[in-house]
């Protein structure tokens, strides 16, 4: 397998003022005080690719942004431990790992309470391994009750270009 080597890369540091503003935006989006993980003055680099941006905090590529949506990478374990989780059946795993959105029939359990448009971690039912980070199309109560259709938009998944780049870095 050939590793993903992004074309047209650009990498730069954010200035202190830009970094502070960025940390505030990240904290609001993720619903947690991001400074608790990195302190009030982390070193923030942005590595731009043709389809996404990696946000590197204190030398670790922990966040990404694509199509205007900010999300944690599957390598940001500390944050993945605190965001809401949904569990999918083993039949859904190969589809989710190819970038498919999560469909209601493949959903087994909603592990926590969340609102529509919340970031959620998608895990498999057998091992509880992280498969994807997604955006909830509905709140947790509605998701538990729905019988058909899409429930989570897949933003980042095991095997995507960002994941392969980070795994091989």
- The count of other CB atoms within 10 Å of the CB of residue 130 is 17
Residue with tokens 């998608």: 122
Whether domain 79-162 has CATH 2.30.130.10: the reply is: yes
Going by the DSSP 8-state scheme, the letter that residue 32 receives in this structure is S
Query: What is the gyration radius of the CA atoms in the chain, in angstroms?
Result: 16
CATH fold match for the domains 10-73 and 79-162: no
pLDDT at 9: 75
pLDDT at 3: 43
Going by the DSSP 8-state scheme, the letter that residue 68 receives in this structure is T
Residues of the chain with pLDDT under 50: 1-4
In this structure, what is the dihedral angle of CA atoms 66, 71, 76, 79, given to the nearest 10 degrees? 170
Whole-number Å distance between alpha carbons of 50 and 68? 13
pLDDT at 123: 98
Say what percent of the chain tops pLDDT 70: 95
Whole-number Å distance between alpha carbons of 113 and 84? 7
Task: Report domain extents, the chain.
Answer: 10-73, 79-162
- Residue 98, token pair as written in the block: 């190819």
pLDDT at 99: 97
Per-residue CA distances from 135 to 16, 37, 38, 151 (Å):
30, 22, 24, 9
Whether domain 10-73 has CATH 3.40.50.970: the reply is: no
Backbone angles phi, psi at 144, to 5 degrees: -65, -30
pLDDT at 6: 54
Q: What is the pLDDT of residues 59-99, one digit of tens each?
A: 999 999 998 899 999 999 999 999 999 999 999 999 999 99
Per DSSP, the residues of 126-163 read TT--EEEEEEESS-HHHHHH--SSEEEEEEEETTSHHH
- The count of other CB atoms within 10 Å of the CB of residue 27 is 14
pLDDT at 1: 34
Whole-number Å distance between alpha carbons of 15 and 102? 38
Sign of CA dihedral 157, 162, 164, 169: negative
């Amino acid at each position: 397998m050939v590793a993903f080597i992004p074309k047209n890369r650009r990498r730069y540091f954010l200035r202190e003022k830009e970094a502070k503003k960025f940390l505030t935006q990240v904290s609001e989006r993720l619903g947690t005080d991001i400074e608790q993980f990195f302190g009030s003055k982390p070193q923030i680099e942005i590595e731009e690719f043709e389809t996404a941006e990696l946000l590197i905090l204190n030398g670790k590529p922990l966040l990404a942004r694509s199509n205007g949506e900010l999300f944690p990478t599957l390598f940001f374990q500390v944050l993945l431990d605190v965001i809401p989780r949904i569990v999918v059946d083993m039949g859904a795993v190969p589809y989710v790992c190819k970038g498919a959105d999560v469909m209601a029939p493949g959903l087994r359990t909603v592990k926590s309470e969340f609102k529509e448009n919340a970031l959620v971690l998608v895990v498999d039912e057998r091992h509880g391994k992280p498969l994807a980070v997604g955006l909830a199309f509905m709140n947790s109560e509605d998701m538990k009750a729905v019988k058909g259709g899409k429930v989570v938009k897949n933003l980042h998944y095991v095997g995507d270009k960002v994941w392969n780049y980070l795994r091989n870095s």
